[in-house]
Amino acid sequence: MTYEQIETFIAIMTYGNITSASNFLHVSQSTVSARIQLLENELGTPLFMRHKGHRTVELTTYGQAFVPMASQWASVFKDSRNLRTLANISTLSVASVDAVNNYTFVPLFNKHIESFPNIRLTIRTHHSDEIHGLISNRTADIGFVFSRSPYPDIISKPVYRELMYLICHKDSGYYDGMPCSELQPENEIYLHWGLDFQQWHNRFFPPERYPLVSVNTGSMLQHYLDVPGRWAVAPMSVVRAVSHRSSLTYYTLSEPPSPRICYMLTNRYPARRQKSAIETFISELEDFIELNDDICAFQEWMLNGKNLVS
């Protein structure tokens, strides 16, 4: 049994298919398949169910039982390789969605790097469903998503909310308190911000009326908003980041989408060696949220008052 085999098993389990795992590991699909075959041969049992014509793979009962063993094996192996530096250096892996990593938390990450040089950050961008899996198998220490966790071994804590705004070219003729009825769907640059946003969007803009273009990251919005009349809806962290372009501005909506609530994910049973680094980061996070004017620290009433603009 080798580290490469264990690493490959964890990658397939996390991403759900051989193609994505091979891309993540930067090896060929045949190499991924060969490693898993050798691992299964050594264990004497299949770890994945393979279905012809299906891109995704599923864990067998044996594969599910092997998950905690593989995670622990990989953790011990990494620690053994870094034995000389473990006394002075700790690591922290953060997995977040695009908007958090590329906008909201950039100042937080930079401050943490400067303040705690002995804690080496690994920052990765993933989709929400991937992040839940990474936290569950302890491949990542902390995750940030905009949806609750369905995993029983994950602690999901709401940490902040962001209001949503209309962003557009400054010559569009739009204004604060803009009613959605005055926005034309055929001029929209659409980004799916989550289930709450989709429900709001369907209420004001029927699904059969297609947007001008759909994108999947906040950074892409700015490339299509330089034409007057085009518009998009985005949280303030993204608005601030893209409105540095002199042609863009933003406004409130009379009936805005629900504010985005960001959830911090941690494993209920983190590795003992990671506890100190996790606690240090969370402390920095709390200070950052308290001092940031663009986001608001979460309070329980927000779940029942999402549409309040303040």
Q: Is residue 76 part of a domain?
A: no
Q: Is residue 257 part of a domain?
A: no
Which of 232, 251, 270 represents a domain boundary (last residue)? 251
User: 168 and 139 in one domain?
Assistant: no
Q: Is residue 129 part of a domain?
A: yes
User: 201 and 123 in one domain?
Assistant: no
pLDDT tens digits along 165-215 = 999 999 999 999 999 999 999 999 999 888 889 999 999 998 888 899 999
Provide the pairing of β-strand 142-145 with 90-96: parallel
Question: Of 10-24, 70-84, 142-156, 222-236, which one has max mean pLDDT?
Answer: 222-236
pLDDT attached to residue 189: 96
pLDDT attached to residue 308: 34
- Residue 174 has φ and ψ, to the nearest 5°, of -85, 170
In 3D space, the residue among 89, 98, 91, 253 whose CA is nearest the CA of residue 167 turns out to be 253
pLDDT attached to residue 242: 79
Give the number of C-alpha atoms closer than 13 A to the C-alpha of residue 92, restricted to the C-beta side.
Answer: 21
Q: Using 50, 70 and 90 to split pLDDT, how confident is the model at 148?
A: confident
In 3D space, the residue among 46, 37, 41 whose CA is nearest the CA of residue 64 turns out to be 46
Residues 239-263, mean pLDDT to the nearest whole number: 87
Taking 70 as the threshold, does the pLDDT of residue 53 lie above it?
no
Q: Is residue 26 part of a domain?
A: yes
| Distance, CA of 271 to CA of 72 (rounded, Å) | 9
**pLDDT above 70 as % of the chain:** 92
User: 190 and 47 in one domain?
Assistant: no
Domain count, the chain: 3
User: 43 and 173 in one domain?
Assistant: no
Taking 60 as the threshold, does the pLDDT of residue 305 lie above it?
no
Residue 44's CATH number: 1.10.10.10
Q: By mean pLDDT, which of 78-82, 129-133, 190-194, 253-257 is the weakest?
A: 78-82
User: 271 and 236 in one domain?
Assistant: no
User: 177 and 29 in one domain?
Assistant: no
User: 172 and 153 in one domain?
Assistant: no
pTM score: 0.63
User: 65 and 23 in one domain?
Assistant: yes
pLDDT attached to residue 84: 58
| Distance, CA of 145 to CA of 132 (rounded, Å) | 9
Residues 267-280, mean pLDDT to the nearest whole number: 90
Angle between helices 106-115 and 275-291 (to 10 degrees): 130
**Would you give the distance in Å from CA 38 to the centre of its chain?**
33
Q: Domain range spanning residue 58?
A: 3-69
Taking 60 as the threshold, does the pLDDT of residue 307 lie above it?
no
pLDDT attached to residue 3: 86
Q: Using 50, 70 and 90 to split pLDDT, how confident is the model at 87?
A: low
Angle between helices 18-25 and 3-15 (to 10 degrees): 130
Q: Is residue 83 part of a domain?
A: no
| Distance, CA of 257 to CA of 243 (rounded, Å) | 20
Average pLDDT across the chain, whole number? 86
User: 153 and 104 in one domain?
Assistant: yes
Residues 242-249, mean pLDDT to the nearest whole number: 80
| Distance, CA of 231 to CA of 58 (rounded, Å) | 41
pLDDT attached to residue 201: 95
Q: Is residue 182 part of a domain?
A: yes
pLDDT tens digits along 101-140 = 988 899 999 999 999 998 999 999 988 888 998 998 889 9
Residue 135's CATH number: 3.40.190.10
User: 193 and 137 in one domain?
Assistant: no
User: 179 and 155 in one domain?
Assistant: no
Q: Is residue 113 part of a domain?
A: yes
**189 near 264, Cβ under 8 Å?**
no
Q: Is residue 51 part of a domain?
A: yes
Residues 155-160, mean pLDDT to the nearest whole number: 92
Taking 60 as the threshold, does the pLDDT of residue 68 lie above it?
yes
Alpha helices, DSSP H, located in the chain: 3-15, 18-25, 29-43, 61-81, 98-99, 106-115, 128-136, 195-204, 218-221, 236-242, 275-291
User: 17 and 131 in one domain?
Assistant: no
Task: Catalogue the long-range contacts made by 224-229 (C-beta closer than 8 Å, 24 or more residues apart).
Answer: 224/189, 225/167, 225/168, 225/169, 225/189, 226/169, 227/169, 228/168, 228/169, 228/171, 228/172, 228/173, 229/168, 229/169, 229/172, 229/173, 229/184, 229/187
pLDDT attached to residue 83: 62
Residues 145-173, mean pLDDT to the nearest whole number: 89
Taking 60 as the threshold, does the pLDDT of residue 288 lie above it?
yes
Alpha helices, DSSP H, located in 124-256: 128-136, 195-204, 218-221, 236-242
In 3D space, the residue among 13, 68, 11, 6 whose CA is nearest the CA of residue 40 turns out to be 6
